[in-house]
Chains A and B, each alone.
Chain A
Amino acid sequence: MEILPIIYLGYMFISIYFLSLFLMLYFKNRNFLFDVPKLTRKYSLSVLVPAYNEEDTIGKTIESIFDSDYLIKELIVLNDGSSDKTGEIAESFLKKFSKLKVINKENSGKADSLNQGIEIATGELIAVVDADSYPEKDAFSKLVGFFDDEKVGVATPFIVPRNRKSFFERLQSIEYSVIAFTRKLLGYVDAIYVTPGPLAIYRKDALEKIGGFDTQNITEDIEATWHLTKEGYKRKMCLNARATTTVPTKLKIWFKQRRRWNLGGLQCISKYKGDFFKKGMLGFFILPFFVLQLFLGLLGLSIFVYLITSRAISNYLFVNHSINVGTSVITMDNLLITPSFLNYLGVILFVFGTIFTIAVLFIMKEKFLVKQNIFNLLFYLLIYLSVYPFIMITSLYHYFRGIRKW
């Protein structure tokens, strides 16, 4: 057997494995997916909002936090040396909201700003909210119940794209739903590997235990989640709690955002490489999962480039010969392809992948998601996801060149 079919079979095995894993977790927990933990006691909650040049959204973020049905202890806006009117806009709310504090500081990055916020925050729990994200009214109250379990270090809601009108935004909304759904399922096996920036509530003790956010990591939220996992803290997710966020509207910004996520992931792999197959879920699932993703993405891209290039060269030479001599370039016989069993398996897997994605969109009960048409869905599965290996390549380039900018 040649090497390429073996690699294809390897990909298929892994795809079937994850599909089976998610299906089993779904069927086992389908009646509890949207459950909300009971609120048995009140926790004091401090909210940190790191902000850098967020004049367009900071006001709405502050209002949405104070609009919450959960009584918050304080809201600290950490204006990280913004060059726009972020600080002024935040300060304009000081009279309206007595629990609001605005810290204007020199630019030192998001992680460092958060660490300064942790030092002055007095709540038992600390919610981190991105300055372009709006928690829904009941988001905090639906999440704090998780902290009755002392082992829970962080809880996160379903992050929903706020802007979802354009085709590109709708593709991202499919992605956010699939991510949220699979994250919820992974929560049942204690395998959540990121609690995203738009909204996450941390136990303050846990954050202090891990020394706050890593200022060297470009995705401090991923790193904090891994660190908490290493320290034995559970990560929880509530699909019923929501926060909306602004997703990139332009391809270039989207590409940069995803590259930053990948770069942060690479930094985490490097930082925690010593924990491979050690330390519970971090070593036995999260690290191998990330490395496998990286490996499969790069291998897939290499094979794709090799096949496309060799086919292109061969076809160019063939067409050249044929045109020179005047023979046909395409015959009926060329069009009648006899599929291999790998083709059949590939089609079956693709069909299952499509059904899985459609099912996720229905399960998430989002009207705007259900209304996604089949073209969006196919584009998402065939084109949108195919861009990821290319992003990975540029992330690796940035990583090895030591480029760490946003």
Chain B
Amino acid sequence: MVEKNQKYVFLYALIITFVIFNFGIFMGYKLESSRVDKIDEMYIEAELDLLDQRIQREAFEIVGLDCEDSIQANIDFADKIFNEAQKIKKFENANRMNSEILFQHKRFDLLRTLFWMNSIKIKEKCGADYSNVVYFYEYDNPSLEQKAEQSFFSNLLVELKEKHGSKIMLIPIAGDESIPSINLLMKKYEIEELPVILIDEKTKINEVNDKEDIEKYLK
């Protein structure tokens, strides 16, 4: 029979727990960091693409490049950032420790805003027949009702994008991140409540009772 006092086991178990726990945290941090790295890569690629877009637009004005090519490049870029936005959303939902992802989100929002401006310009210069559909949503702390509404808006816009394809430039932007340029644009288009869908810088939609409510404004 072992009758010796083994109370030191309490301490040993604590030390082992610290080791296992910290290893788990480390692995978790690594996992999340790898996701942030992936987003970082996507950002750099997107940034390059957008820069290329802007040069094309400038070149169109200065040396008269083909308008069709510029529109097509813009459409391709829109599809790309739409898919990336979906991926980033999933990573954000799954990241718990690495707050760098929030910073990345802001960078992407700025990039999308820049893209929106670019789209407006191309439409003006080339008379493109697509619609800019900018979706402003609450990012930081949406209420239950906002969450439900945003999930619904999100699915609805995805369906519209699938249906209309390159006729829609779908640009999701968080409207509550205190980014001055986005705030200024929201002020200009009198956006006070989130979520809201802004179509072609003219029509604001806060409430949708039918898909037609949006489709009738699309070109």
Contact = CB atoms under 8 A, between A and B. Distances in A.
Given A24-B9, A338-B93, A341-B97, A318 B159 contact: no
Interface string A23-61: 011001100100101100000000000000000000000
A304 interface: no
A310 interface: yes
A13 B208 CA distance: 46
B95 interface: yes
B2 A188 contact: yes
A328 B17 contact: no
- Sorted nearest first, the 9 A-B pairs with minimum C-beta distance are A341-B28, A317-B148, A321-B152, A21-B13, A318-B148, A340-B94, A338-B90, A20-B13, A5-B96
B211 A341 contact: no
A119 interface: no
A330 B152 CA distance: 10
Nearest to A33: B2
Given A13-B21, A321-B149, A328-B155, 13 more contacts: A5-B96, A9-B25, A20-B20, A38-B1, A188-B2, A318-B149, A321-B208, A322-B152, A325-B156, A326-B210, A341-B27, A342-B96, A344-B31
B13 A325 contact: no
A327 B152 contact: yes
A314 B96 contact: no
Contacts of B7: 189-190
B96 A315 contact: no
A324 interface: yes
A209 B179 CA distance: 73
A13 B211 contact: no
B156 A16 contact: no
A334 to B, nearest CB: 8
B91 interface: yes
The bracket for how many chain A residues form the interface is: 35 or more
Interface of B: 1-3, 5-7, 9-10, 12-14, 16-17, 20-21, 24-25, 27-29, 31-32, 86, 90-91, 93-97, 99, 144-145, 147-149, 151-152, 155-156, 158-159, 208-211
Nearest to B31: A341
Contacts of B28: 341-342, 344-345
Tell me if A's interface is mostly helix, strand, loop or mixed.
helix
A328 B158 CA distance: 10
A237 B94 CA distance: 46
Nearest to A234: B3
Contacts of B155: 322, 327-328, 331
Given A20-B17, A325-B156, A333-B86, A190 B97 contact: no
A316 B17 CA distance: 41
Given A1-B96, A149-B3, A189 B9 contact: yes
B12 to A, nearest CB: 6
B195 to A, nearest CB: 11
A331 B158 contact: yes
A2 interface: yes
Contacts of B148: 313-318, 320-321
Contacts of A24: 9, 12-13, 16
A314 to B, nearest CB: 5
B16 A20 contact: yes
A16 B17 contact: yes
B10 A318 contact: no
A362 interface: no
